[in-house]
Structure 1
Amino acid sequence: MDASDMCAGEALEGMIDTLHARGRLRVWSLIVTVFGDAIVPRGGRVALSVLQELMARLRIETGAVRTAMSRLAADCWLERERDGRNSYYRLADAGRHAFDFATRRIYAAGPPAWDGTWLVALAPGGAGNGVRAGREQAMAELGFAQAGAGSFVRPFADIPELTEDVPPGLLVVRGAALREAPDLAALWELDELAAAYRALGDNLAPLAAALARGAGLAPLDAMAARVLVDHSWRRIVLRDPGLPAALLPADWPGEAARARVKAVYAALAGPSEAWLDASGLPEQVDAKRFKARFGGI
């Protein structure tokens, strides 16, 4: 069957098949997606039974959900609360900073604006292997490219975390370059990201085509599809260094993927939010902020 002829329900089942075909499923990561996408905008607290219903639609067993929730609580991402015989989970204060930073990246309208200046970070020598490895990972998560031993660089963006979350002990300088190489994007490994963006666009094509024809999904199915779309996008965009458009290759597929994700997400927003309402979650804390996702849905 051609992707354009597939109904929305068939497309959703195919997406669930793909989720389980990736290998061992990290249920905790999927739940993090649910919290960031749907729970935090409604206050950050949800009944375990609601999560179990949603995960069951994604063919994830109750025991796996409980194990994942226990892990997230042990790692201080979530806090467990009891209300009679019911269990609730709330986003812990310790995890809110990371959630907020990730949310801005996931739902950005496009590449960040750039004034042409750069951030350069330099680390003194003498650090042990463990310290160096942790520092390099932290800098990569902030979109810095390693330009040499203990040296990191990235285009400046007006994002507080780019300087606030730099590991301690580094000298950080912002300024204009006196000379720039012709292919600065080569400092970052973009080929794998580009392939992931193209694959995501292809994987969403059946559902996007069905929704564009006016096909609909039941509220629970819409919420399940929304989680899968958001999770797939999140897995890629949080590995993306977030380069400005001026530094990206001419054939960069990231924005085409963003446009498709936005269109599908916008079509799913209404019925999926209806499911959250019916499941007893509080109203959104800031409905305008939610509607502004991806530049406006």
Structure 2
Amino acid sequence: MASVALDGIMAGLRREPSRTGSLVVTIFGDAIAPRGGSVWLGTLLAFFRGVAIEDGAVRTAMSRLTADGWLERRRAGRNSFYRLASHGRATFEAATRQIYVPRHPVWDGRLTCLVVSDREAGAALGETGFGQAVPGLWIAPGTPPVPEAASAAIRLEARVDAAARRRLAAEAWPVDRMAASYRRFLDMFAPLRDEIAAGLVLTPSEAFAARILTIHFYRRVILRDPGLPLDLLPEHWPGELARRLSAELYAMVLEPSEAWLDENGLDENGPLPPAGDVLRRRFQEE
């Protein structure tokens, strides 16, 4: 029996512009890097055919990713093999810590407040996780490092009650927009989890597609999340539900998805080496 939910997820994917290159990066980071890091183009084409994306779109995306420094290509005869370049590898290693590891830090209730008027300093603070509560006032939980561009800022520490800090967080970070993104993820993937829990058995090809698409869509949300302490977020934060759903789906499809790679995954030396137990540790509490 086919998965109605998975068909719907793939239909949504095909409606998105510029989806293929981002999906390639997800495949490498989630599935190929743990199995040696290199893969034959034909393996990737087989996956994309399973989600109804044409070979030409995949080849174009691979060329662009290589030109942009994300991938490296090696030819062996008529075959092409790809691996993440140093830029792509470093980027996904940083992303891995956000995707698979519990996000919300322990917090002592202190807020660091920086008063800045320089636009460059404000931009640097925004890139390092600070949020702008009001014009010129940037805040962050705890005592995070301050980027050099903002080293001259006036620095204060504050403690506020639960209601006030949640109001501040809602002003400083796009909390409502993040919550909406998580809810869309839940609406998209919870039916697939429910189908599998009710007894639907995915083929190895479907399981690999379900795994990659779960991480692909979850990655797009989680990497925009500043990872605030739960005390700064609204009650019943949907990000926690999204993380649990991702973990459940990942565990459900991991074994058959790896079976698909065992059957179809090739690098320059033949079948891809096994991933070991690194995959089973993903999403586990530390």
Q: Partners in 1 of 2:147 and 2:26 — Cα distance?
A: 26
Aligned to 2:95: 102
Give the 3-state SS of the residue equivalent to 1:295 in structure 2. Answer: coil
Aligned to 2:30: 37
The residue type equivalent to 1:10 in the other structure is V
- State whether residues 27 and 65 of structure 1, in contact with CA within 8 Å, keep that contact through their aligned partners in structure 2: yes
Q: Give the CA deviation at 1:25.
A: 3.6
Aligned-residue sequence identity (percent) comes to 47
User: Is 1:13 matched with 2:4?
Assistant: no
Q: Give the CA deviation at 1:217.
A: 0.9
Q: Give the CA deviation at 1:85.
A: 1.6
User: Is 1:290 matched with 2:276?
Assistant: no
- State whether residues 119 and 156 of structure 1, in contact with CA within 8 Å, keep that contact through their aligned partners in structure 2: yes
User: Is 1:236 matched with 2:221?
Assistant: yes
TM-score (norm 2): 0.84
Give the superposed CA RMSD. 2.7
Q: Partners in 2 of 1:118 and 1:101 — Cα distance?
A: 25
Give the 3-state SS of the residue equivalent to 1:154 in structure 2. Answer: strand
Alignment of 1:158-173 (within 5 A): 163=145, 169-171=149-151
Aligned to 2:104: 111
Q: Give the CA deviation at 1:237.
A: 0.6
- State whether residues 21 and 61 of structure 2, in contact with CA within 8 Å, keep that contact through their aligned partners in structure 1: yes
- State whether residues 113 and 138 of structure 2, in contact with CA within 8 Å, keep that contact through their aligned partners in structure 1: yes
Give the 3-state SS of the residue equivalent to 1:225 in structure 2. Answer: helix
Distance 1:179 1:262, change over 3 A: closer
Distance 1:185 1:149, change over 3 A: closer
Distance 1:146 1:68, change over 3 A: same
TM-score (norm 1): 0.82
The residue type equivalent to 2:149 in the other structure is G
Aligned to 1:153: 139
Which blocks of at least 5 consecutive residues in structure 2 are unaligned?
Answer: 266-270
Q: Which of the numbers 161, 171, 190 marks the counterpart of 1:205?
A: 190
The residue type equivalent to 2:193 in the other structure is A
Distance 1:69 1:216, change over 3 A: same
Q: Partners in 1 of 2:155 and 2:257 — Cα distance?
A: 43
Aligned to 1:252: 237
Give the 3-state SS of the residue equivalent to 1:34 in structure 2. Answer: helix
Q: Give the CA deviation at 1:97.
A: 2.2
Aligned to 1:281: 272
- Output one character per residue of 1:207-244: Cα deviation in whole Å (capped at 9) or x when no partner: 11111123211111111111111111111111111111
- State whether residues 105 and 238 of structure 1, in contact with CA within 8 Å, keep that contact through their aligned partners in structure 2: yes
Q: Partners in 2 of 1:283 and 1:175 — Cα distance?
A: 51
- State whether residues 109 and 294 of structure 1, in contact with CA within 8 Å, keep that contact through their aligned partners in structure 2: yes
- Output one character per residue of 1:4-44: Cα deviation in whole Å (capped at 9) or x when no partner: xxx552221111111123x3242111111111111112222
Distance 1:92 1:124, change over 3 A: farther
Which blocks of at least 5 consecutive residues in structure 1 are unaligned?
Answer: 1-6
Aligned to 1:185: 169
Q: Give the CA deviation at 1:48.
A: 0.8
Aligned to 1:268: 253
Aligned to 2:130: 144
Aligned to 1:4: none
